[in-house]
Structure 1
Amino acid sequence: MSTVALITARGLLGRRRALLLLPLPLLLIGLAAICRANNLSPDQWGQAVIVGLGFAVVLPVVALIVGTGVLGSEVDDGTLVHILTKPLPRRDIILAKFGVAVLVTAITTTLPLFAVGLLAGSAELGIALAVAAVAGSIAYSALFVLLSLLTRRPVLLGLVYILVWEGLLGRFLSGTRVLSIEQYVITIADKLSPTDILPSQVGITTAIVMSAVFAVVCTVIAINRLGSFSLAGETS
């Protein structure tokens, strides 16, 4: 399992795709720093930067890049079947790749969000944003790893979820927020550091339970789906 994780990390971070992880976090910190340098109150820029950019764009897009990258290339070039010929439980393969996706996403997003919290004048807010980003990294990674096994266009479907489900429907139809990871993240951060900057619209119990449901259900389905790849490889 550790070998699979190491190979996955090397393959993910050794490609040009890894460079795509840097611009958005740097933009997030840069905008917050500019607002702080101009002595703007966090009430004036906090929601736009933290929620509008950090939680709505940076976190899910980074998770999408990483989550679809840990398996996507192996599905596309056919090497996944070769990996499945190794004497490894399908569960271990998925958990290793899921773990790498969560770790890379969390590191890439928690540090800039913590920095933004500090720039907003509160270490407590920075910690809350970082913890919420970890929760979001787990849920988003599980979803996007699963998508990479369900379709050949995981990035496209991931963007539909981020932009349409969370970005459009989630802002106008209250019922869709129950299945919005972005809303869970906002609620968790707001619970840890209550502030008007974070407009939470679901309960904390819903946020925690549904984050866990996304992580567990998507991972279980991914393990089962990987088993079907194995069967296809053995019968071809």
Structure 2
Amino acid sequence: MHGLGPIYRVVLSAIATKARLALLVALGAIAVLLGLAIGSSEPLDRVQSAADMVNGYGLSVLVPVVSLVFASAALGDMTEDNTLVYLWLRPVPRETIATAATLAAATVSLPVVTLPLGLAAALASGGDGGAVVGTVVAAAVCCLAYSGLFTALGLRVKRALAWGITYMLIWEGFVARAGTGSARLSVQAYGRSILAEAADVELRLASIDPIAAVVVPVLVAMVGIALTTRFLHRRDVA
């Protein structure tokens, strides 16, 4: 895709600020401390306890918050400071800009969520391979889906952080937990299902087929890129 690399690097350098990284790495450290605390307490079922921690903090808080912060800034910051016009004027398709921004957000977000959560799962579960692999894969696919959606959100609305947090609290945290049907419209449900399958544990509303649990978040990310492309076509950045 012509022009993808340069735009990707521009967006990556713009969003990966020291302040953002420091704050979000601190959130990841909380997961490690939780994993250490659970592992040290030696619960009766360490794998189940580890999965509950990953589901309750990692997939519900750490992954969406980290993804929101980086993805909403990918094009949102450029919109606010009127520098998006410099990407706009490049002779590249709008879908290239959308793809580069989403990939940049995912590139920064993935290690910030997968590394601490993988370590936390290992500490809490006593090194159970299924729990660790399930945690990393679940966090990665959710992060990718959120990166696509929140990149579009950051371009489309002002105060994207507030809107994103509202979405997480109302939809992901409340409505989508009402039943199986609504859960399928929640990104977290797909990560939760991957984790439950890999770790061989029971998690509420984790009933999505393992293949679909991986494929659907990837499709969601692609939908996010398509929305970002559409918003770029319709937006006046002059």
Whether 2:10 is the aligned partner of 1:4: answer: no
| Corresponding residue number in structure 1 for 2:120 | 116
| Corresponding residue number in structure 2 for 1:38 | 41
Q: What letter corresponds to residue 113 of structure 1 in structure 2? A: L
Whether 2:70 is the aligned partner of 1:66: answer: yes
Superposition map of 1:118-157 within 5 A: 118-119=122-123, 120-121=125-126, 122-157=128-163
Q: Which moved more, 1:84-93 or 1:32-41?
A: 32-41
Q: What letter corresponds to residue 25 of structure 1 in structure 2? A: G
Q: What letter corresponds to residue 189 of structure 1 in structure 2? A: L
| Corresponding residue number in structure 1 for 2:58 | 54
CA contact (8 A) 2:34 2:120 kept: no
RMSD: 2.0
| Corresponding residue number in structure 1 for 2:173 | 167
| Cα distance, 1:124–1:78 mapped onto 2, change above 3 Å | same
| Corresponding residue number in structure 1 for 2:200 | 194
Q: In structure 1, what is the Cα distance between the partners aligned to 2:227 and 2:165? A: 20
Identity of counterpart residues, as a percentage?
26
Q: In structure 2, what is the Cα distance between the partners aligned to 1:197 and 1:169? A: 17
TM-aligned CA deviation for residue 18 of structure 1: 2.5
Superposition map of 1:96-111 within 5 A: 96-111=100-115
Q: Which moved more, 1:209-218 or 1:68-77?
A: 209-218
Higher relative contact order, chain-length normalized (CA < 8 Å, sep 6+): 2
Task: Write out the 4+ residue segments of structure 1 that deviate beyond 6 Å after TM superposition.
Answer: none
* Aligned positions, number: 232
Q: In structure 1, what is the Cα distance between the partners aligned to 2:55 and 2:68? A: 18
Q: In structure 1, what is the Cα distance between the partners aligned to 2:48 and 2:95? A: 47
CA contact (8 A) 2:47 2:199 kept: no
CA contact (8 A) 2:71 2:148 kept: yes
Residue by residue over 1:98-127, the C-alpha shift from the partner in whole angstroms, topping out at 9 and shown as x without a partner, is 111111111111111211221112022101
Q: 1:94 aligns with which of 98, 104, 111?
A: 98
CA contact (8 A) 2:50 2:131 kept: no
